[in-house]
Amino acid sequence: MSDTLQFVNFGFHPLLMEGIEASGYETATPVQQQVIPPILAGKDVIASAQTGTGKTAAFLLPVMNKLLENHVDGQVGALIIVPTRELAIQIAQHIEGLSYFTHLSSIAIYGGNDAQNFVAEKKALQLGADIIVCTPGRMIAHLNMGYVNMKGLRFLILDEADRMLDMGFQDDISRIIRALPEKRQNLLFSATMPDKIRQLARKILHDPAEVNIAISKPPDKIVQQAFVVYEPQKLQLIKRILKGTSYKNALIFCSRKQTVKQLARELKQLRFNVAEIHSDLEQAERENVLAAFAGGRIPVMVATDILSRGIDIDTIDLVINYDVPGDGEDYVHRIGRTARAEATGLAYTLVGEKEQNKFAAIEK
């Protein structure tokens, strides 16, 4: 398959193409390249893909395209079930952006006590909306009132299915599915594929196309170590690492720019030759400090995640995570700044007492 499949190759409706362009998407991401064709071909799909891969547009675009090409008024066309209201809101925003130039209607149905929302939700469930995004609990509340009409439903999408099972929504999902017509296209997305997801898939999907988007892995030649410490010990530990390790360029990541500024200040007081980089610097200043760092005049750089992607300085042989990055993907990007080209590298992560769960998730 081509690495650079363009959206024009999918033959999407022109009004949908306008939404794609307005969203700033140029090439399809790997999950989109693999998932869109089978969905367009009418197949059920099971895909393991994490947040950040472009998975939302991977199911929204082909479903929207089919709803546009074969539009029926007055019914619910697609139902997307998600674990949390945050995700429901996020997907609703995606729908709004991508469908901006079309006449497709959509609504997000999630918990909360807003009576006005409830009335709008009820109306959509009775009279139809092209796409409904819902959390299980809220949908059950509506189902219990007896007016939900899903007769024309053509697409069922379960997003972050593993999280839904972890949150105990299995029965709610079954209950919702019983209210749907049997003949429909089913799409299941999950970050992980434990057995219980496979079992769920066997119940819901028919002869699905299977797509696996591999999770990024750091190169083997990076030696990785983690230290579990109390927050106030981190500065001393960094000092010891910098004194006790031989390196050409050391890059220290902090998640917040306030921490970057403070740590750079403290290291300067300890007489290390340090520069800092974060979003408060002008572009020209950033370029200057980067050049000084790459040229070896300043051997230590403290940075936010703005430096975790894209910079390619092959003398970086030590990366220190002053704090635990947001997720596995960020971690891989951060430590991937070392051991560029043929070199080897060292990556240390300082795990504060409150960061242990987050680090455990990254290790997994």
Residues that bind ligand AMP (CB under 6 A): 25, 28-29, 32, 51-57
Nearest to 213, CA basis, from 311, 39, 86, 329: 329
- Chain-centroid distance, C-alpha 252: 24
The least CB distance from residue 61 to ligand AMP, in Å, is: 9
The least CB distance from residue 124 to ligand AMP, in Å, is: 23
User: Could you give the CA distance from residue 103 to residue 289 in angstroms, rounded to a whole number?
Assistant: 50
Nearer Cβ to ligand AMP, position 53 or 349?
53
Whether residue 249 contacts residue 301, with contact meaning beta carbons closer than 8 Å, is answered with yes
- Taking residue 145's Cβ as centre, other Cβ atoms within 10 Å add up to 11
The least CB distance from residue 26 to ligand AMP, in Å, is: 6
Is residue 4 classed exposed, middle or buried when 0-12, 13-18 and 19+ CB atoms within 10 A define those classes?
A: exposed
User: Could you give the CA distance from residue 145 to residue 147 in angstroms, rounded to a whole number?
Assistant: 6
Nearer Cβ to ligand AMP, position 47 or 351?
47
Whether residue 261 contacts residue 313, with contact meaning beta carbons closer than 8 Å, is answered with no
Nearer Cβ to ligand AMP, position 27 or 273?
27
User: Could you give the CA distance from residue 217 to residue 66 in angstroms, rounded to a whole number?
Assistant: 36
The least CB distance from residue 52 to ligand AMP, in Å, is: 5
The least CB distance from residue 275 to ligand AMP, in Å, is: 31
The least CB distance from residue 95 to ligand AMP, in Å, is: 12
Nearer Cβ to ligand AMP, position 33 or 185?
33
Nearer Cβ to ligand AMP, position 92 or 180?
92
- Taking residue 314's Cβ as centre, other Cβ atoms within 10 Å add up to 15
User: Could you give the CA distance from residue 290 to residue 312 in angstroms, rounded to a whole number?
Assistant: 11
User: Could you give the CA distance from residue 82 to residue 173 in angstroms, rounded to a whole number?
Assistant: 10
Nearer Cβ to ligand AMP, position 18 or 314?
18
The least CB distance from residue 184 to ligand AMP, in Å, is: 22
User: Could you give the CA distance from residue 176 to residue 185 in angstroms, rounded to a whole number?
Assistant: 15
User: Could you give the CA distance from residue 201 to residue 46 in angstroms, rounded to a whole number?
Assistant: 7
The DSSP letter of residue 224 is E
The least CB distance from residue 17 to ligand AMP, in Å, is: 13
Nearer Cβ to ligand AMP, position 98 or 156?
98
Whether residue 293 contacts residue 322, with contact meaning beta carbons closer than 8 Å, is answered with no
Nearer Cβ to ligand AMP, position 28 or 350?
28
